[in-house]
């Protein structure tokens, strides 16, 4: 049996009709051209009779995209098929995709048709569509809940009158893999002319099994999968194209199938859809989510640094992502921190790395993610610093519109501990006065600035100050998510420079 799996992309039809994913005609054209670049076999561009916008979109895609088969959806009604053909006739390889429900629940409650009436309607309209174009697909809507014997009867009949592909949809996402695979296998075994058509599947994700069901179908004889970028679609969505394709690629030795998709375009295609619709994928989305190739846990990071295969079953480059990312957070280890510092141009000794790591872990407890700017600030603050004669052990401030600003500061100098309280024009001024009193270094603050090192409300604030003492100028800097703390640390850093310059200790 042929091992080539055809990819039928319905992002612009089933995906686009989902709430929040509507696109303009021009946006659909951009997306269609990227899908062509991605290498899908068929693009279902829309439902031409649904609206003038859908008709125009299908027509323009048919005119402008020549590297894929272009499909348009139509009910098993002559007016639908005519409208679809009017839009599709400009395509190099047009396909009319017509559908009719076959389950008893749909026939009775939605269509008020008998099984025989539905069969006759399917035969008549597939025959008519075939008179217009070579390629016709018939979908048995709600096939999973259709009596299998009747489903096989309908499939055989529409192939006899010209259907070139048969789609077996799990329209409501009801099936499970072992069941869906059995349905596909039964069709392959019982429909005598099934070899004259491509057997296709279209799975919805209501139970989170759309991709698993699609793979089970392929294992049992389906040779086309209908799917969408990022898995968008009605309700819980459709089978995700990127997941289906990468499963077949990553597990090729086990499954034995391949597609014509250029996988290095997957991420770009996903990002374009997000840009066009404004609907981002969740961070933990397989293949294209922000966390798909990101590692924060120290054990994982250490493994990936040594050999990416320890925790990555595919390379980020294989889907068009430049590289994996080692996210620096509270779970990260020294290996990841050392690697990032090396990338930033810092060659740290073991002692310097340990100091930087301690500062990094303290910061990581205060904010979710550490950025390069944070690391540089830590390196400049903790690694390239002068010896700390005085170390800040505790800072407590009180300030408000109706309060006199006060600060209590505790410093350690060797084995000695000092504590002083003071008032000032603000909490920083009060703390600096307390430091002056304990260190007996009386300096004049001549320059003071605060900058946000990184983004977000939890951004690291970097304080740069300059003081004058005995006709000399000294700089101090510090960084913290608490700008009062950063200000006091920066001031103390400058005071330590004064003490170091004098080469004396109190």
Q: Report CA torsion sign: 300, 301, 303, 309.
A: positive
Give pLDDT, residue 170.
98
> Do 259 and 376 share a domain, yes or no?
no
Please tell me whether residues 375 and 417 are part of one structural domain: no
Question: Quick check: is 287 in a domain?
Answer: no
**Contact criterion met (CB below 8 Å) for 63 and 53:** no
User: Which residue, 247, 277, 307, sits at the end of a domain?
Assistant: 277
Any domain includes 282: no
CA dihedral 110, 113, 118, 124 (to 10 degrees): -100
What is the reported pLDDT for 139? Answer: 98
Q: How many residues does the chain have?
A: 506
> Which mean pLDDT values do the consecutive 10-residue runs of the chain (506 residues) have?
91 91 93 97 97 95 97 98 98 97 95 96 98 98 97 98 98 98 98 98 98 98 98 96 98 97 95 90 88 69 70 85 68 78 78 83 73 69 67 92 91 92 92 92 86 69 83 77 89 85 56
* Per-residue pLDDT at 453: 67
Angle at 131 between CA 130 and CA 135, to 5 degrees: 35
Domain-located, residue 46: yes
Domain CATH number, residue 232: 3.20.20.70
Could you tell me the CATH number of the domain that includes residue 444?
3.30.160.270
pLDDT of residue 327: 59
- Choosing from 243, 277, 311, the residue where a domain stops is 277
Rounded CA separation 101/296 (Å): 48
Six-digit token pair at 389? Answer: 């004669």
Residue 283: inside a domain, yes or no?
Answer: no
> How is 120-169 classified by DSSP, letter by letter?
HHHHHHHHHHHHH-SEEEEEEETGGGS-HHHHHHHHHHHHHTT-SEEEEE
Residue 286 maps to a domain: no
How many structural domains are present in the chain? 3
Residue pair 130/136 in contact by the 8 Å Cβ criterion? yes
Sign of CA dihedral 351, 354, 358, 360: positive
**Both tokens of residue 417?**
């501990």
- Provide the domain limits for residue 22: 6-277
d(CA 143, CA 300): 44
Task: Compute the distance between CA of residue 147 and CA of residue 427 in angstroms, rounded to an integer.
Answer: 78
In this structure, the answer to whether residues 221 and 259 fall within a common structural domain is yes
Side-chain-side CA neighbours of 108 within 13 Å: the count stands at: 4
Q: Is residue 369 part of a domain?
A: yes
- Boundary of a domain, candidates 245, 277, 309: 277
Indicate if 28 and 51 belong to the same structural domain.
yes
Contact 461, 485 (CB under 8 A): no
Same domain, 497 and 423: yes
Q: What is the pLDDT of residue 304?
A: 59
**Do 271 and 148 share a domain, yes or no?**
yes
The strand pairing partners of 325, in sequence order, are: 294
Q: Residues 184, 188, 191, 197: is their CA dihedral positive or negative?
A: positive
Distance between CA 357 and CA 403 in Å, rounded?
38
The 3-state DSSP class for residue 21 equals coil
| Same domain membership, residue 310 and residue 272 | no
CA dist., res. 16 & res. 37, Å (int): 19
Same structural domain, 466 and 361: no
The DSSP 8-state label assigned to residue 383 in this structure reads I
**Do 41 and 183 lie in a common domain?**
yes
| Rounded Cα distance, 257 and 369, in Å | 40
Residues 53 and 78 both lie in one domain: yes
For residues 335 and 226, membership in a common domain is answered with: no
Q: Dump pLDDT digits (tens) for 37-88.
A: 999 999 999 999 999 999 999 999 999 999 999 999 999 999 999 999 999 9
Q: Report the distance separating Cα 405 and Cα 397, nearest Å.
A: 7
The predicted structure's pLDDT at residue 505: 41
Q: Is 306 helix (H, G, I), strand (E, B) or coil?
A: helix
User: Helices (DSSP H) in 319-470: which residue ranges?
Assistant: 334-343, 350-364, 372-378, 427-439
Asked, for residue 333, whether it belongs to a domain, the answer is yes
Please report the pLDDT score of residue 57 as a whole number: 96
- Residue 149 and residue 184 in one domain: yes
Separation CA 388–CA 414 (nearest Å): 10
Strand partners, 360: none
> How far is the first Cα of the chain from the last one, in angstroms, to the nearest whole number?
87
């Amino acid at each position: 049996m042929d091992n080539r799996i055809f990819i039928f992309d319905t992002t612009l039809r089933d995906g686009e009709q989902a709430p929040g994913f509507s696109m303009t005609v021009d946006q659909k054209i951009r997306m269609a051209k990227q899908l062509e670049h991605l290498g899908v076999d068929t693009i279902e561009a829309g439902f031409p009779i649904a609206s003038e916008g859908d008709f125009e979109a299908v027509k323009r895609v048919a005119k402008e995209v020549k590297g894929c088969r272009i499909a348009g959806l139509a009910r098993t009604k002559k007016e639908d098929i005519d409208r679809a053909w009017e839009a599709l006739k400009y395509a190099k390889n047009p396909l009319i995709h017509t559908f009719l429900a076959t389950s008893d629940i749909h026939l009775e409650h939605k269509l008020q048709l008998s099984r025989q009436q539905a069969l006759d309607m399917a035969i008549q309209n597939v025959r008519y569509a075939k008179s217009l174009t070579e390629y016709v697909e018939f979908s048995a809507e709600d096939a999973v809940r259709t009596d299998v014997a009747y489903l096989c009867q309908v499939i055989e009949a529409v192939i006899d009158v010209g259907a070139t592909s048969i789609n077996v949809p799990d329209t409501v996402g009801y099936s499970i893999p072992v069941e869906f695979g059995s349905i596909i296998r039964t069709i392959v075994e019982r429909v005598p002319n099934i070899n004259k058509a491509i057997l296709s599947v279209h799975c919805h994700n209501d139970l989170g099994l759309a991709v698993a069901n699609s793979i089970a179908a392929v294992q049992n004889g389906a040779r086309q999968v209908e799917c969408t970028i990022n898995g968008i679609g009605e309700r819980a969505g459709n089978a995700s194209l990127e997941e289906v394709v990468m499963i077949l690629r990553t597990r090729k030795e086990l499954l034995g199938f391949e597609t014509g998709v250029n996988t290095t375009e997957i991420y770009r295609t996903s990002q374009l859809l997000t840009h066009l619709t404004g609907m981002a994928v969740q961070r933990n989305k397989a293949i294209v989510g922000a966390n798909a190739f990101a590692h924060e846990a120290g054990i994982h990071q250490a493994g990936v640094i040594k050999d990416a295969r320890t925790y990555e079953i595919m390379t980020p480059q294989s889907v068009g992502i430049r590289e994996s990312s080692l996210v620096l957070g509270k779970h990260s280890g020294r290996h990841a921190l050392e690697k990032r510092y090396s990338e930033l141009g810092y060659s740290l000794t073991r002692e310097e790395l340990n100091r930087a790591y301690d500062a990094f872990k303290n910061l990581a407890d205060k904010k979710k993610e550490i950025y390069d700017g944070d690391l540089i600030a830590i390196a400049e603050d903790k690694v390239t610093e002068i010896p700390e004669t005085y170390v800040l052990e505790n800072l407590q401030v009180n300030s408000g519109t109706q309060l006199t600003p006060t600060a209590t500061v505790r410093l350690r100098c060797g084995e000695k501990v000092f504590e002083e309280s003071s008032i000032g024009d603000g909490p920083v001024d009060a703390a600096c006065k307390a430091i002056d009193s304990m260190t007996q270094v009386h300096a004049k603050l001549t320059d003071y600035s605060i900058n946000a090192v990184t983004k977000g409300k939890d951004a690291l604030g970097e304080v740069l100050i300059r003081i004058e003492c005995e006709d000399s100028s000294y700089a101090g800097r510090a960084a913290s998510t608490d700008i009062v703390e950063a200000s006091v640390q920066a001031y103390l850093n400058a005071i330590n420079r004064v003490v170091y310059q004098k080469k004396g200790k109190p």
